[in-house]
Amino acid sequence: METSTEALSYSLDALRVKALFYNKKAMVYVEGPEDINFWDPYFDRDVFEIESVNGCQNLQPYIEKLENGEKSFIVACDADYDTFKGKSTTSPLVVHTYGHSIENTMYCPHNLSEVVRKLSKSSTDTTTVIEDWYQKFTHSAHPLLLREITKLTYKPHADKPVVFGDTCANYCNTTAPCYELDDARIKKFCDDNERFYPNEELERVETEIQKDGRDERFLIKGHFLTDGVRRFINFLSKNAHPTGSKSNISSNELYALCVHCSNCRIKDCEENKYIIMLVTNAIIH
C-alpha cells in the first residue's frame, strides 16, 4: 500500500500543480542532490524548479508518466547503459547526459586541466597529458567495459560479480603509480569470472561499442571513472606545483570544482551542445 507521501509524489494531479507552489512554469526532476547543481545551468531558474527524487529507481515512475503522454514536467537523468540495453525514451521531456553519467561530462580534459592550474598554482596547460592518461586508462578498462555491459544485457538478473564499482581500487596498481589500472589484475578478474561472460556475448558487445562511436571515456561508469580521475589529478597537481606540494582532493571536492564546467575554456563542446539540444527540445514541447 502506498503511503500518503508516495501517493502525493506519484499522483498526476499533484505533479501537475507542484510547480505552482514554487511560482514556476514546470518542475525538473533529477536523480539525486548532486545532480541539481549539474543540471542547474541548463534550465532558467526563473522558469523551472529542479528537485531530486533521491535515487534512480525513484525517477522511473516519472519517466513512465512522460512515456505515457504526460507533459507537465521534465526529467533530466544519466544515460547509463540504456542504449546497449535496447531501452530508448520516446518522450522529448526526458533529457539525458551525453555519456554514461554527469561525471563523464564534468571530467573532460580541458576542465580538469583548469583544476590542475588552480591546485598547483601553476599556469601549465596539462590538457594533452590528461588526454594521454585517459587513452591509457580507457584502453586498460576496455575488458571491464565489455563485461559491465554484458552483465546488464546477457541474463541481466543472474547473480554476477561487480565489475565497475564505485572506485577503481580493485584494479589499480598496488605500487606506484596508483592512478594507473593494472592489466594483470584486470586479466585475473576476467579469467576468474569467465563463466559469466560467453565469448559470443563479449563479441556482440564489442561490435555495439564500435557502432556507438563515442569515446570510451564516456561509457565507463561515472563513479569508477571519478576515482581514477581523482587519483591522477592529485598526482598531476603535485608534479605541477612549483614546490611539489601534495594535493589530496576528495571526490566531493573534485565534483565541486568541476560540476558547472565553468573552468573549461572550450566553447564548442560536443557534450554540452548535445545536452543543450535536448533541453531546448524539451522546453519547446
**% the chain with pLDDT above 70:** 92
What's the confidence (pLDDT) of residue 5? Answer: 38
More confidently predicted of 265 and 74: 74
What's the confidence (pLDDT) of residue 121? Answer: 86
3-state secondary structure 78-100: CCCCCCCCCCCCCCCCEEECCCC
Average pLDDT over residues 58-77: 95
Average pLDDT taken over every residue of the chain? 90
Predicted confidence (pLDDT) at residue 16 exceeds the cutoff of 80:
no
For residue 172, list its beta bridge partners. 181
What's the confidence (pLDDT) of residue 131? Answer: 97
Predicted confidence (pLDDT) at residue 146 exceeds the cutoff of 90:
yes
What's the confidence (pLDDT) of residue 242? Answer: 63
pLDDT interval class at 54 (50, 70, 90): very high
Q: What is the pTM of this model?
A: 0.90
User: DSSP of 27-88, one letter per residue?
Assistant: EEEESSHHHHHHHGGGS-TTTEEEEE-SSHHHHHHHHHHHHTT--SEEEEE--TTTTTTT--
Is the preceding peptide bond at 198 cis, omega within 30 degrees of 0?
no
Residue found by looking up cell 598547483 in the block: 120
Can you tell me the distance from the alpha carbon of 238 to that of 253, in angstroms, rounded to the nearest whole number?
16
Closest among 144, 127, 234 to 182, alpha carbons compared: 144
Can you tell me the distance from the alpha carbon of 258 to that of 226, in angstroms, rounded to the nearest whole number?
11
Q: What is the pLDDT of residues 211-221, one digit of tens each?
A: 999 999 999 99
Average pLDDT over residues 228-256: 85
**% the chain with pLDDT above 90:** 73
From 5-9, 15-19, 156-160, 261-265, the region with the lowest mean pLDDT: 5-9
What's the confidence (pLDDT) of residue 2? Answer: 42
Q: What is the pLDDT of residues 150-209, one digit of tens each?
A: 999 998 877 899 999 999 999 998 887 789 999 999 999 999 999 999 999 999 999 999
Q: Helix crossing, 222-240 with 127-153: angle to 10°? A: 160
Question: What is the identity of the amino acid at 207?
Answer: T
Question: What is the identity of the amino acid at 44?
Answer: D
What's the confidence (pLDDT) of residue 3? Answer: 39
